[in-house]
Amino acid sequence: MAKDWSRLECEAIVSDYFDMMIKVLIGEEFSKTDHRRALMPKLNHRTDSSIDYKHRNISAVLVQAGERYVPGYRPAWNYQALLKDVVLGWLEKSESELVTLEDAEMKIIHESQIPPDLASLFVTPPDRTEMAGVRESRVRTPRHTNFAEREAKNRDLGERGEAFVFEVERQRLASIGRADLVNDVEWTSKEKGDGAGYDIRSFSGQGDNELFIEVKTTNSGKFQPFLISANEVAFSAECAESYSLYRLFEFSHKPALYELRGAVDSYVHLSPSLYRASFS
């Protein structure tokens, strides 16, 4: 049976993980295999697979803490308590640098290209059981605002994501022989403002059935949690047969998206993140 990782080992792999995080933020290419090989001399005879799994554990700690993670390291939830302490310590130490780099990344998002083969853009959504660890999260971190909240408040990121999906829908309809509907696709949140419960009105392509799309955009990976309003959740339930949530991820690097068709709460665990306080 493998022994628990020591503090020195945890510090070495967390340092390596944040080095990769910085490279992601500045758009620098790197090899995960090279990183694992460089780590091996600093660890106690750990295997390649155990190092990879520990990187995934770090992703889980970050997701539960409301922070972004390195894309490609799918969160693995059964992590060591010591590892969590080391990760949160690194977050506190690196807070200023990470926020600065995230802000810079959001300002220099490249014009994302829609692939000729639209099918390659859509991927399978995460299974709800894979994200079970997020539901019980009560981790407090040094950040004043967590990553999901910062992205939700970033109007430029949201608008770019909606513009991307708007064009995806126009191209999708054209590709299935419904060019007659292309000019009827509506960017509702831009033309009519927020509050409709969705961002884009498109069409399923089956007859003239409408499709109401809510767009959630992140520069992080597939498993990054997102914020959704009570109004958006209610609309998804009321119009389940004609509603989809498009989760656009890794937007600043290599965009991909998954679709949640119908009521959102049938796919994800919903946890309150904001309360309305009143005296009546």
Beta bridge partners of 249: 256
Among 16-20, 132-136, 206-210, 271-275, where is mean pLDDT lowest?
Answer: 132-136
How many independent structural domains does the chain possess?
2
- If you average pLDDT over each of 117-121, 148-152, 184-188, 205-209, which comes out highest? 184-188
User: How large is the average pLDDT for residues 142-147?
Assistant: 64
171-214 pLDDT tens trace: 999 999 999 999 999 999 999 988 899 999 999 988 899 999 99
Amino acid letter for position 226: F
More confident residue, 257 or 115: 257
Average pLDDT along the chain: 88
13-71 pLDDT tens trace: 999 999 999 999 988 999 999 999 999 999 988 999 999 999 999 999 999 888 899 99
Please indicate, yes or no, whether residues 146 and 255 belong to a single structural domain of this protein: yes
Q: Is the distance from CB of 189 to CB of 136 less than 8 angstroms?
A: no
158-172 pLDDT tens trace: 999 999 999 999 999
Query: How many percent of the chain have pLDDT more than 70?
Result: 90
Q: Is 113 part of a structural domain of the chain?
A: no
User: How large is the average pLDDT for residues 131-135?
Assistant: 43
Helix axes 81-107, 48-64, angle to 10 degrees: 70
Q: Is 257 part of a structural domain of the chain?
A: yes
Q: What is the pLDDT of residue 110?
A: 58
Is residue 278 over pLDDT 80?
A: no
pTM for the model: 0.86
Is residue 266 over pLDDT 50?
A: yes
Please indicate, yes or no, whether residues 19 and 94 belong to a single structural domain of this protein: yes
Please indicate, yes or no, whether residues 87 and 184 belong to a single structural domain of this protein: no
Q: What is the pLDDT of residue 192?
A: 93
Distance CA 18, CA 3 (A): 24
Last residue of a domain, one of 108, 137, 162: 108
Q: Is 231 part of a structural domain of the chain?
A: yes
Q: Is 115 part of a structural domain of the chain?
A: no
Q: What is the pLDDT of residue 269?
A: 86
Name the residue with tokens 């554990």: 57
Which pLDDT band, with edges at 50, 70 and 90, does 135 fall under? very low
Q: What is the pLDDT of residue 134?
A: 41
User: How large is the average pLDDT for residues 103-114?
Assistant: 70
The alpha carbon torsion through 251, 167, 123, 227 (nearest 10 deg) reads 60
Distance CA 96, CA 92 (A): 9
Q: Is 47 part of a structural domain of the chain?
A: yes
Q: What is the domain-level CATH number for residue 226?
A: 3.40.1350
Among 78-87, 103-112, 116-125, 144-153, where is mean pLDDT lowest?
Answer: 103-112
Distance CA 262, CA 240 (A): 4
Question: Which residues, other chains included, contact 222 with Cβ-Cβ below 8 Å and sequence gap of 6+?
Answer: 71, 74, 123, 126, 247, 249, 250, 256, 258
Please indicate, yes or no, whether residues 72 and 189 belong to a single structural domain of this protein: no
Q: What is the pLDDT of residue 104?
A: 80
Q: Give residue 247's domain range.
A: 128-266
Is residue 142 over pLDDT 70?
A: no
Q: What is the pLDDT of residue 144?
A: 53
